[in-house]
């Protein structure tokens, strides 16, 4: 039985499409000059199917579900996306976890410079491997994430291009793909996840955020050249948890 493709395969597939040896194009980039990956944080496949009317560009695209990782939290998933390794191999095993070497609890989403990102995650990233082949590698996202510990641990090797809104991301992508050679570009969009945590999946604000993400994908798609391919993916999905299903961990001291 064939193994389902997963988030760990996305960057490697792009690298293979760009002609980098040692990778397999399991997701079908094909032979391309410019490979683009747009990651919409928190927009799982099921959510897109349930709310397809609010995302016409995404819904019209050909696609299929792929597997995330366990645990399905952003640090673990981005670690696997960036390295091509499962969390047990790259070491970012949750939203917070104990570093036994220093007896320190690390929360990767709040990580700055201590402990050293390379010390925590020393495995080479796919960006680093691709960049060594002379390919232009860019990462487009909020300026606040450029020097974060998580970025430097699992997404290092790319030229970071700060961009806050759709127009800035489109301009950054245009710049990243206009230097003449092959290029690999990663575009990150956080709003769906952020609004989902604050307002709930399916809420009015969440549907508005989904619409803006769809607008981003449409704008990126419109400026791609014929020798380019773009895959849109997510790190994980989301579900609403009603109050009746919530567990206050402090009420169960035996669990901690």
Q: Is residue 2, in this structure, part of any structural domain at all?
A: no
On whether the CB atoms of residues 140 and 172 are closer than 8 A, the answer is yes
Question: Does residue 32 have a cis peptide bond before it, meaning omega lies within 30 degrees of 0?
Answer: no
Q: Is residue 248, in this structure, part of any structural domain at all?
A: no
Residues counted in the chain: 256
CATH number at residue 56: 3.40.720.10
Q: Is residue 255, in this structure, part of any structural domain at all?
A: no
CA-CA distance, 209 to 95, in Å (whole number)? Answer: 23
On whether the CB atoms of residues 203 and 211 are closer than 8 A, the answer is no
Q: Is residue 36, in this structure, part of any structural domain at all?
A: yes
Range of the domain at 203: 7-239
User: pLDDT (tens digit, 0 to 9) for every residue of the chain, 256 residues total?
Assistant: 345 789 999 999 999 999 999 999 999 999 999 999 999 999 999 999 999 999 999 999 988 999 999 999 999 999 999 999 999 999 999 999 999 888 889 999 999 888 999 999 999 999 999 999 999 999 999 999 999 999 999 999 999 999 999 999 999 999 999 988 999 999 999 999 999 999 999 999 999 999 999 999 999 999 999 999 999 999 999 999 888 888 888 888 887 7
How remote is the C-alpha of 62 from its chain's centroid?
A: 19
Q: pLDDT tens for residues 111-151?
A: 988 899 999 999 999 999 999 999 999 999 999 999 999 99
User: pTM score, two decimals?
Assistant: 0.93
Q: pLDDT tens for residues 140-170?
A: 999 999 999 999 999 999 999 999 999 999 9
Burial bucket for residue 188 (CB in 10 Å: 0-12, 13-18, 19+): buried
Q: Is residue 256, in this structure, part of any structural domain at all?
A: no
Nearest alpha-carbon partner for 154 in 185, 190, 123, 193: 123
Q: Is residue 224, in this structure, part of any structural domain at all?
A: yes
Q: Is residue 11, in this structure, part of any structural domain at all?
A: yes
Tell me how many domains the chain contains: 1
Q: Is residue 140, in this structure, part of any structural domain at all?
A: yes
């Amino acid at each position: 039985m064939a193994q389902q493709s997963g988030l760990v395969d996305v960057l490697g597939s792009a690298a293979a499409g760009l002609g980098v040896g040692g990778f397999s194009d399991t997701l079908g980039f094909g032979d391309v000059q410019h490979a683009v990956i747009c990651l919409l944080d928190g927009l799982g496949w099921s959510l897109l199917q349930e709310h397809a009317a609010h995302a016409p560009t995404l819904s019209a695209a050909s696609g299929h579900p792929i597997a995330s990782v366990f645990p399905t939290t952003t640090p673990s998933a981005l670690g696997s996306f960036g390295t091509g390794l499962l969390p047990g191999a790259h070491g970012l095993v949750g939203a917070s976890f104990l570093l036994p070497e220093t007896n320190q609890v690390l929360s990767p989403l709040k990580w700055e410079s201590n402990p050293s990102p390379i010390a925590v995650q020393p495995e080479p990233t796919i960006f680093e491997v691709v960049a060594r082949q002379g390919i232009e590698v860019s990462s487009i996202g909020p300026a606040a994430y450029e020097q974060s510990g998580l970025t430097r641990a699992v997404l290092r090797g790319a030229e970071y291009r700060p961009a806050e809104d759709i127009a800035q991301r489109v301009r950054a992508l245009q710049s990243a793909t206009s230097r003449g050679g092959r290029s690999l570009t990663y575009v990150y969009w956080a709003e769906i996840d952020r609004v989902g945590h604050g307002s709930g999946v399916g809420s009015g604000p969440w549907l508005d955020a989904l619409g803006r993400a769809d607008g981003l994908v449409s704008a990126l798609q419109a400026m791609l050249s014929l020798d380019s391919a773009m895959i849109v993916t997510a790190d994980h999905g989301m579900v609403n948890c009603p109050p009746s299903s919530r567990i206050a961990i402090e009420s169960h001291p035996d669990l901690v």
